[in-house]
Amino acid sequence: MEPGSVPISSEEKMMRTQVGIVGAGPAGLMLAHLLHLQGIESVIIEARSRQYIEERVRAGVLEQGTVDILNRTGIGERMRKEGLLHHGIEIGFQEKRHRIDMTDLTGKAVVVYGQHEVVKDLVNARLGSGGKIVFNVEQVSIHRLNDEHPVIHFSENGTLEQLHCDYIAGCDGFHGICRQSIPEGALTVYDRIYPFAWLGILADAPPSQEELVYANHERGFALYSMRSPKVTRLYLQCDPAEDIANWSDDRIWSELLTRLIGVDGWQPNQGPILQKSVTPMRSFVVEPMQYGRLFLAGDSAHIVPPTGAKGMNLAIADVRVLAHGLAAYYKSGNSETLAAYSETCLRRVWKVQRFSWWMTSILHRFPDANSFDQRRQTAELDYVTSSEAGARSLAENYVGLPLNLANELAG
């Protein structure tokens, strides 16, 4: 047996691939799809079932760049039919709504299309092309990250397996094992916990208007959104320790109407609440986003507050950079682009963190804010909604900053 190799017992199976991907969320699935288009082999392992990942409802505002890459790589057909194209957003404060026309300001737009729908489309494409996804795995661990051939150990249906690969992509989320497998001290962690959370609901009610409304109110932030032509998605700022059991449907609707109704009388349509939950808010980044032959992508490397609608978009941007670097390596043996993965991603990550923090800071009521802070916040909202320069900056960030990858695959 060669030095540093992993012994294989008679009860273990061994597989070999070029890129081992841990996690079948948008990041892992999109990475596998991009690699497939370049002729690069990969295997995805996922701790949950296919049904679970396809039904796990998450936010779904897609930046222009995310829409473009889905279309260019053959994944966008259902999105084009069912997604809701949005050319602007509205910001409400002091009982008035102000529209930011993103398309007029930037020439771009966003599409509302649920994350679980993107996952369904990517899973179908993956399995339809003969790609491998191993669901319901257990006992996942990763080894030999500094060797030429790192190894992923896992159990499938009680059988221990080893996946030998050239590189590992850690796309397994904030609580996944990949980041935790990096030696202590190798990463610098930046973390911020916000003093509020979002109480979110899905309502069986058709949207009462076509664009999102972000509302700053003396009782706290509220957001009107949608998931489909028949289902509305709404959020309320609340305490992080809030017990969802204390929020009856009537109480939720009463609070939403209080915070969203303006002088023009507009209000969201009401209907049965299909789902409700409380989501804490935080900002989180680790640097670097790579260690040896392991590359972190998506929530395993960073978390943003949902105010700017950036979570999935940032994950997709990460794997576009990673796929670009891997393609260059396998095509020519040049590893410079791959070695720059973390630096390239982090430039965009921190810009997105800045925007998400800024959106959060101007729209939410902070517990320790005084009258000066509140007047300054109102002035910021007034500037953004009355200045073309201010509105353009918001719109540019909201529709998505450019990735600028030279010679990125076109599908």
Mean pLDDT of 206-222: 95
pLDDT interval class at 177 (50, 70, 90)? very high
pTM of the shown model: 0.93
Choice among 113, 167, 194, 214 that is catalytic: 214
Q: In 73-114, which residue ranges form alpha helices assigned H by DSSP?
A: 77-82, 102-106
Active site residue 341: no
Task: Count CB atoms within 10 A of the CB of residue 393.
Answer: 15
pLDDT at position 4 is: 40
Active site residue 398: yes
**236 exposure class (CB count in 10 Å sphere: 0-12, 13-18, 19+):** buried
CA contacts within 13 A on the Cβ side of 327: 21
Give residue-wise pLDDT tens across range 148-167.
Answer: 999 999 999 999 999 999 99
Active site residue 230: no
Q: Order across the sheet with 138-143: list the strands.
A: 12-16, 159-164, 151-156, 138-143
Choice among 310, 329, 330, 341 that is catalytic: 310
In this structure, which amino acid lies at residue 234? Answer: L
Mean pLDDT of 267-286: 95
Q: What is the DSSP letter of 76?
A: -
Q: In this predicted model, which residue has the larger pLDDT, 309 or 13? A: 309
Is residue 328 a contact partner of residue 38, using CB atoms and an 8 Å limit? no
pLDDT interval class at 406 (50, 70, 90)? low
Asked if residue 6 has pLDDT above 70, the reply is: no
Q: In terms of Cα–Cα distance, which of 282, 293, 276, 374 is closest to 329?
A: 293
Mean pLDDT of 251-267: 93
Choice among 26, 33, 36, 86 that is catalytic: 86
Asked if residue 133 has pLDDT above 50, the reply is: yes
Is residue 118 a contact partner of residue 26, using CB atoms and an 8 Å limit? yes
Asked if residue 51 has pLDDT above 60, the reply is: yes
pLDDT interval class at 11 (50, 70, 90)? low
Task: Count CB atoms within 10 A of the CB of residue 282.
Answer: 14
Mean pLDDT of 76-90: 96
Domains and CATH numbers, the chain: 12-84+113-191+282-363 (3.50.50.60)
Tokens of 30: 């999109």
Asked if residue 323 has pLDDT above 90, the reply is: yes
pLDDT interval class at 5 (50, 70, 90)? very low
* Percent of the chain with pLDDT strictly greater than 70: 96
Q: State which H helix or E strand residue 124 sits in.
A: helix 115-128
List C-alpha distances in Å: 346 to 175, 288, 315, 318, 340. 20, 8, 12, 9, 10
Asked if residue 410 has pLDDT above 70, the reply is: no
Active site residue 214: yes
Asked if residue 78 has pLDDT above 90, the reply is: yes
Choice among 306, 330, 341, 364 that is catalytic: 306
Mean pLDDT of the chain: 93
